[in-house]
Structure 1
Amino acid sequence: MHENTQAPWWRTATGVTMLGLALVGIFYVLREHFGHALGALPYLVLLACPLMHLLMHRGHRHGG
């Protein structure tokens, strides 16, 4: 089989930086705009469903 020697993207310097910036942004939105963020929660859940469907089907290895 094939060995994966490349580190996952979230363990690279760019990945850690992007995750850190995302956490700071999420903290700011929840801290300053909690009422607005709470109002958008149902839409975010509905948006998460098709995104999870698309991203999780990549692991089935169809066609290989």
Structure 2
Amino acid sequence: MRTRTWALIAASVAVIAIFFILREHWAHALGLSPYLMLLACPLLHLLHSHGGHCGTAQNLDVTSVENS
């Protein structure tokens, strides 16, 4: 329970620090936002699970194996 309390305190302090940093440097943060979005795209492609693809041929193969 103590670990959870310290994690909550650390998260609260981090949120407050980020708020004050962004408040002072909002123009710089908005200037970096297009680059952050460009960096996020490859990361999402690498880290995203590929379970949601619509592979009907693969789905048919799986169901035919399960039914036999």
TM superposition score normalised by structure 1: 0.50
Name structure 2 gaps, 5 residues minimum. 52-68
Larger Rg: 2
Name whichever structure is richer in helix by fraction: 2
The equivalent of 1:36 in structure 2 is 28
Residue 15 of structure 1 and its aligned partner are, at CA, apart by: 5.8
TM superposition score normalised by structure 2: 0.48
Report how many residues are paired: 48
Residues in 2 aligned to 1:32 and 1:18: alpha-carbon distance in whole angstroms:
21
> Per the alignment, do residues 22 and 48 of structure 1 end up closer, same or farther by CA in structure 2, a change over 3 Å counting?
farther
Deviations 1:10-55 (CA, angstroms, capped at 9, x unpaired): xx73765664454234312321100100110100110111111111
- Trace 1:12-27 onto structure 2 (pairs within 5 A): 13=4, 16=8, 19-27=11-19
Counting aligned pairs with the same residue, the percent is 50
